[in-house]
Amino acid sequence: MPGLTSASGLIGLLDEPDQQLKCYALQNLDKLVDQFWAEIADSVSKIEVLYEDDQFSERNLAALVASKVYYHLGEYDESMMFALGAGDLFDITAKSEYVETMIFPQKADPRLQDIVERMFRKCYETEDYKPAIGIAIEARRLDVVEEGINLASWRSKDKKGKERSSEEEKDGGVELMEYVLEISMNVVQEIGLREKLLRLLVNLFLSQSSPDYFSISKCVIHLNDTSLAAKTLQELVQKEDTKSLLVAYQIAFDLDSSATQEFLQKTGKYYRSIRQILRGTKSIEIALEFLFRNNHTDMSILNKIKDSLEARNSIFHTAVTFSNAFMNAGTTSDGFFRANLEWLSKAVNWSKFTATAALGVIHRGNLSQGLKLLEPYLPQERVSTGSPYSQGGSLYALGLIYANHGTDVLDFLKKRFESTSDEMVQHGGALGLGVAGMATGNLAIYDKLRTVLYSDSAIAGEAVGLAMGLVMLGTGSSTSLEDMIQYAHDTQHEKIIRGLAIGMALIMFGKQEAADDLINTLLDDPDPTLRYGGIMTIAMAYCGTGSNKAIRQLLHVAVSDVNDDVRRVSVMSLGFILFRKPNAVPRMVELLSESYNPHVRYGASLALGISCAGTGLDEAIDLLEPMIKDPTDFVRQGALISMAMILVQQNDQMNPKVASLRKTFEGMVGEKHEDAMAKFGAALALGIIDAGGRNVTIGLQTQTGSLNLPAIVGMAVFTQYWYWFPLTHFLSLSFMPTGLIGLDDELNVPDFKFWSNTRPSLFDYPPKVEESAEKAPEKIATAVLSTTVKARQRAKRSEKEKAAKEAAAKGEDAMETDHTVSTPKRAEKEKVGYELGNMSRVLPEQLKYISFISDGRYEPVKKPTGGILLLLDRTPSEPVRLMELKARKATVPTATGPSHTVGPVNDGPGTGGAAAAVNVLNAEDDEGDEDAPLPEDFEYITDGETEEEL
């Protein structure tokens, strides 16, 4: 009915005695109810009377209209009752919000069950399984999910049997199981329902003739079922065939990249090789080797940063330290310190702490030599010499080297921590204990930390509160939370309260609804620092879930809280909730990025960086580009850091804006009139974009799709650099090597080739920056008279005429002589497809182009997902050519003696920095010197006086 602005005419027809007119009115009201439901609602009683009239021919239609009116009114029970009364007129196949809302069971009404069952039967008859299974999951009908998977599997087998197809087609049931697994991991938000689905999937996978053990391992990690993990590994090993053993090893490596230390320790009770993998030592050793041999750090960029920033300014000195640490993270290349000892000597107090801790980032994963490397810096028992800042930094560095795998150093760190009373050493020791003992739930360490907390030292207390959360990460320990929230209310130190607030958030990592009580308690607190902790608890508890409830809560606080810090972290936390859906974040924060409040703008920039890290997403870059020119310095800082996170490992072929943005970073570092905070951000950006020798990305989920626990925690703590610069080093926990590393059944690294079906330049390293020669000062142009110019022009013409005559005499064309230009050779077209060797860099976007040579010696046990890949040897009887592990051979220069005399330095240009810097970093700061003498009196002569008069 075009042009209708009111339903009053149709409603009036309901009062007519003629049934045909009433039916006409109902038919049109059914079409218009979504538009005029508010007007119809006033007369819904008339429609109900028609439904209750047994003599009325269109009772079902009246019920349907009444149902839709009550649906719009939000009275779902009433709406459901009338929908059931509508019978077949209620179309279960209609794609509308009304129908989808109604078909989910509100009560166990048999009529409703009949509608839902009819829908399930129809879907299964037409082999349209996914919609039925999706609705069954929403309705908690796991029996229907199981029935659909079994039916699809049976039909696939029956079809294969009839067709006698020789091609290997994927079983329909297995496809559905993978679909349900994806929904369980990424869509289902209720923990109880997710666990039931995963248990069902484990049983279904195990019932297959050839179980998909890699999918089973994903379920095991999310269920946190150590006994099932150990049983699965044990069964695979006991099969006693090479392929099963390789699958067991591959699962062990996948578990190591995804599970907590506590989970791995409980699982690794069987077999030496699997224990070695689950301890993490093998994967760390391989990652270290990959970063060591593929290091492409451009030291000229780092030198430019150093030369552009004044070293006597502690902020700038610290910025260079972070850039060096990030660029060389995990490569063991610390030669920058050795080459710049004079610059390093300008570090004092906390700058010295940060510089020493940077060694932990550079040597992260160097488990065999980490303790030896840091020995000259570490606090010695009953020896009080040396700088407490470098001693605290060395304990922090030791924790970073053994991050999330601290079994071998936890006792050492605990002893050094409890044997000191120096606040700076306690600060570094607490951070080291926290990062090395992450998620162990070690109560002995927790008790030592709590004892120092109760001493009420602001410097030590901040790190201790954070460390308590790191050690109890994800445990949800109510006892720990009670201790921490009680002390947060008792102390007067804001630093301690902040450390405890972040620590409580970490304890609730991944707990979702179980964290709601703590969240509400913290958000209702009058102290803004604890409200800040409440927001971080939302970010950690609902990390990667995409929870609508969490997003609504964050957006509400972002526009309503009176404190800028709380508003800033609310917007920033959107990145943690939505990092699995990066495309959704730019649209969500677009308006927030233009907020009048600079703290909200900063939060929007960090949300983009966290969620879109490593993606090169154009929409995120477009939002950040104007923020780099924001009038507020800290907004520019956040935009620069986030831009680098997004563009990490991108080159000009992948994103044409990379080159210009790199120049922007370098230009801001060198700009004399730029604010210090923006320069700090630009220096960090240059370190992040080339992190790990250009061989790492920032990944908050593993290659197998699970949450990357150390990476998320590292990113969360890194964002606290706003309050405390040394926490910036935590970002290195988010760095994930992007290599393809093949291992055989002996866990050795064989020398073999695989194929990348792309142009070599598409995923190549960015070109190194060319050293530009210094510009010579321009000479002032000499004034030239107009008559002189004319004379020169006449001379040139006469020379050309003379040359033309000579050329003509020789039979040559004068114009060709003057203007002949050698044509450059045409550039060869780049070929598509090239070979790569084992341990080569392979970017996540490149994986889909990777294939193994069909007639090659090695075959992967699963589809390449990056990282470590186990290989099945097709010709095991032939001798194997192994790759030499270069990182093992690289020795750490030592500094010996009580005075820490520098020992022999490695000949390599990129090493030896730790040993060379010992005397510089261990030197005590000159805090006890006398003040500088006052200047002598001076005389000032006025314009009207002379020296003789005075």
- 115, part of any domain: no
- Least confident stretch, 475-479, 544-548, 928-932: 928-932
651 and 744 inside one domain: no
Q: Are residues 570 and 628 in the same domain?
A: yes
Q: How long is the chain? A: 950
User: What is the percent of the chain with per-residue pLDDT over 70, rounded to a whole number?
Assistant: 84
Number of compact structural domains in the chain: 3
Beta-carbon neighbour count of residue 867 at 10 Å?
Answer: 22
DSSP 489-502: HH---HHHHHHHHH
Confidence class of residue 259 from pLDDT cuts 50, 70 and 90?
Answer: low
Burial label for 872, CB within 10 Å (0-12, 13-18, 19+), is: middle
**Most confidently predicted of 424-428, 824-828, 940-944:** 424-428
SS (H, E, C) 629-671: CCCCHHHHHHHHHHHHHHHCCCCCCCCCCHHHHHHHHHHHHHC
Q: What is the pLDDT of residue 908?
A: 45
pTM of the model as a whole: 0.76
Least trusted range by pLDDT, from 479-493, 597-611, 892-906: 892-906
Q: Which two tokens stand for residue 624?
A: 């950040």
End position of a domain, from candidates 682, 706, 730: 706
Q: Which of 840, 859, 886 is the last residue of a domain?
A: 886
Residue 687 in domain: yes
| pLDDT attached to residue 271 | 59
| Domain co-membership, 596 together with 662 | yes
Strand partners, 867: 740
Confidence of residue 483 (pLDDT cuts 50, 70, 90): very high
637: Cα separation from own chain's centroid:
19
Above 70 in pLDDT, residue 215? yes
- Closest Cα partner for 578 from 535, 543, 549, 553? 543
Q: Does residue 693 lie in a domain region? A: yes
Q: What is the pLDDT of residue 321?
A: 95
Q: Is the pLDDT of residue 200 over 80?
A: yes
Residue 45 lies in a domain: yes
Residue 847 sits at the vertex; the CA angle it makes with 844 and 853, to the nearest 5 degrees, is: 155
- Identify whether residues 568 and 612 lie together within a single domain: yes
743 is a domain residue: yes
Residues 626 and 701 both lie in one domain? yes
Average pLDDT over residues 209-236: 79
How far is it, in rounded angstroms, from Cα 393 to Cα 798?
A: 77
CATH code (residue 684): 1.25.10
873 near 744, Cβ under 8 Å?
A: yes
3 state DSSP class of 437: coil
Tell me the three state secondary structure of residue 737. strand
Report how far residue 900's alpha carbon sits from residue 908's, in angstroms, rounded to the nearest whole number.
Answer: 22
One-letter amino acid at 815 equals M
* Top-confidence residue, 745 or 692: 692
Residue range 868-872: mean pLDDT, rounded: 89
- Of the ranges 192-206, 579-593, 779-793, 800-814, the best mean pLDDT one: 579-593
Are 325 and 362 within 8 A, CB to CB? Answer: yes
* Residue 664: domain span: 560-706
Q: Of 489, 409, 422, 477, nearest to 452 (Cα)? A: 422
Same domain, 698 and 618: yes
Average pLDDT rounded to a whole number, residues 530-540 = 96
585 and 651, same domain (yes or no): yes
What tens digit of pLDDT does each residue of 786-830 get? 566 566 666 666 666 666 666 555 554 444 444 444 445 555 677
If asked whether residues 586 and 666 sit together in one domain, one would say: yes
Residue (of 366, 540, 387) closest to 920 by Cα position: 387
Dist. CA 934–CA 931, nearest whole Å: 9
Separation between Cα atoms, residue 880 and residue 895, nearest integer Å: 40
Helix axes 598-611, 633-647, angle to 10 degrees: 10
Last residue of a domain, one of 688, 706, 724: 706
> What local confidence, expressed as pLDDT, does residue 891 receive?
54
Q: CA 226, CA 213: separation in Å to the nearest integer?
A: 15
Claim to verify: residue 635 and residue 590 sit in the same structural domain: yes
> Is residue 913 scored above 60 in pLDDT?
yes
- For residue 319, give both structure tokens: 């910025």
Mean pLDDT of 26-51: 86
- Half-sphere CA count of 442, side-chain side, radius 13 A: 24
Q: Confirm whether 423 is domain-assigned.
A: no
Using a 10 angstrom Cβ sphere, with 0-12 exposed, 13-18 middle and 19 or more buried, the burial of residue 259 is buried
738 burial (CB, 10 Å; 0-12 / 13-18 / 19+) is buried
Sequence-distant (6+) residues with CB within 8 A of 172 are 129, 152, 153, 155, 156
Residue 233 has pLDDT above 60, yes or no: yes
In a domain, 463, yes or no: no
The contacts of residue 736 (CB under 8 Å, 6+ apart) are 696, 697, 698, 699, 702, 708, 711
Q: What is the pLDDT of residues 119-139, one digit of tens each?
A: 888 888 888 888 888 888 887
Across 209-213, 546-550, 660-664, 855-859, the highest mean pLDDT is recorded for 660-664
Other C-beta atoms lying within 10 Å of the C-beta of residue 836: 17
638 and 754 co-located in one domain: no
* Domain annotation covers residue 273: no
Same domain for 863 and 753 = yes
C-alpha distance from residue 861 to each of 196, 213, 744, 846 (Å): 29, 11, 10, 19
Share of the chain above pLDDT 90, in %: 43
Query: In the predicted model, is pLDDT for residue 907 greater than 50?
Result: no
Residues 616 and 747 in one domain: no
